[in-house]
Amino acid sequence: MIDQNTSSFRIEHDSMGEIAVPADKYWGAQSQRSLQNFPIGEETMPTEIIRAFGYLKKAAALTNAALRPEKMTIEKRNAIACACDEIIEGKLNNHFPLVVWQTGSGTQSNMNANEVIANRGNEIVGKALLHPNDDVNMSQSSNDTFPTAMHIAAILSVEQALLPAAKAFEITLARLEEENADVIKCGRTHLQDATPIRFSQEISGWRASIEKDILMICDAFEHLRPLALGGTAVGTGLNAPRGFDIAVANALSDLCGTSFKTADNKFHALTSKDELVFAHGALKALAGDLMKIANDIRWLASGPRLGLGEIFIPENEPGSSIMPGKVNPTQCESITMIAVQVMGNDTTIGMAASQGNFELNVFMPVLAYNFLQSVRLLADGIRSFNDRCVSGIRANREKMNENLHRSLMLVTCLNPHIGYENAARVAKKAYAENITLKDACVALGYLSAEQFDQVFHPEQMV
């Protein structure tokens, strides 16, 4: 095993010469140079990218063994595959220390993967079998592996984390919709009283938004299934065997349990990141709807005595260090902060994607970091918001009924009987004199008390 004494070093070398590397780490010379040359920030390469490289390098080894058996022997293939499995399982995450703020092509992270796989693979077989460039990076370039890793990471994180969270949230909203079908409340537009609405109808708007967002995400992420792998340095496929691109995409599909295919135009795949911009737009749409839903919920729960107070939400923790008994809508605050972060990430992603020059985009690490942060935050945030807030929403039926019958906009049902302008006079008189709509209407002589009762039915206005 590699020496676990962190005070010791070993000497690794690359084309620039020798360099000391911590003896207890699997990375090699190029990773070490990156660590020394980019001591910038605390943002390291996302674990989703690391895991994607595990799948990618394993698929490449399997494909090379089939297409170039004289170079990728069964022994080499198996050693690479074993090391990659450990990366996929997250066992080697602490051997990937590189920051986001490195070379814009992600070359150093590609080499980080190559070096870790080579050194761990050699340890597994007990001899110097694998070379990071000649074997682990066979038929590849950083220029096609990093964009491929971004697409793999994006697809897997959405399928395995975000979509399940969003669908569970949709199910919760559907349940609340069914439970509140008999509750009628005051609707609101412009933050002002409007005509009545069923609480279930209001919730149905939330549910339909999430349902639409899920559909848009699924549609948008289909554009990430084509992969750059096989384009190598500039899109020509130099040093990759014929058919490598198609075969490696098929291998990745089998390993990841989802569908990938080779990009039709590798020159586009290497330099353009338009698919990621488009896909993140769907994430931004979800963030926008989450912002709206969370704001609705905290407005409806505001109070408890001096706000709207129309719903109860779970009380999870004390809300103030000075005001005893105060409880705040903290889950709403959390998900809305996530929403603005995603919207900010969208700007970064759009700017980064615009920076392709000639045959390569060199803003890929920051694009990947922001994209995957959005997916991760949305998935985690939706789960928390759903479990700790939305699933526990209860209608304050008494308050809703009270607010409903105090609403001046119920006067709208009088329009067919006394006309819009007369109905407006009724509403203004009732408001100015703090009397009921009925009293105002009768006082103005538009309807008798009996006539008013015959036509005034708020429950029929929904």
Partner residues linked to 17 by β-bridges:
14
Dist. CA 447–CA 453, nearest whole Å: 9
Contact 232, 140 (CB under 8 A): yes
Query: Could you tell me how many helices (H) and strands (E) the chain has, helices first?
Result: 17, 10
> How does DSSP classify residue 40?
-
Alpha-carbon gap, residue 403 to 396, rounded angstroms: 11
Beta strands in 258-384 (DSSP E): 261-262, 311-312, 356-357, 360-361
- In 3-state terms, what secondary structure has residue 167? helix
Say whether 110 sits in a helix, a strand or coil.
helix
Interatomic CA distance for residues 128 and 134, integer angstroms? 13
Q: Residue 417 burial by CB count (10 A; 0-12/13-18/19+): exposed, middle or buried? A: middle
Dihedral of alpha carbons 39, 40, 42, 44, sign: negative
Cα 353 to Cα 346: distance, rounded to the nearest angstrom: 10
CA dihedral 303, 308, 310, 313 (to 10 degrees): -40
Q: Mark whether 391 is an active-site residue.
A: no
Active-site annotation holds for 417? no
CA 275 to chain centre: 15
* 459, 196 contact by CB (below 8 A): yes
Helix (H) or strand (E) holding 11: strand 9-14
Distance CA 160, CA 280 (A): 17
Computed on alpha carbons and rounded to an integer, the radius of gyration of the chain in Å comes to 30
Residue 196, preceding bond cis, omega within 30 degrees? no
DSSP 174-243: HHHHHHTTT-EEEEEETTEEEEEEEHHHHHHHHHHHHHHHHHHHHHHHGGG-EE-TT-TTTSS-TTS-TT
**Considering 13, 223, 259, 320, which one is annotated as catalytic?**
320
Is 362 in contact with 105 (CB distance < 8 Å)? yes
Q: Which residues are catalytic?
A: 190, 320
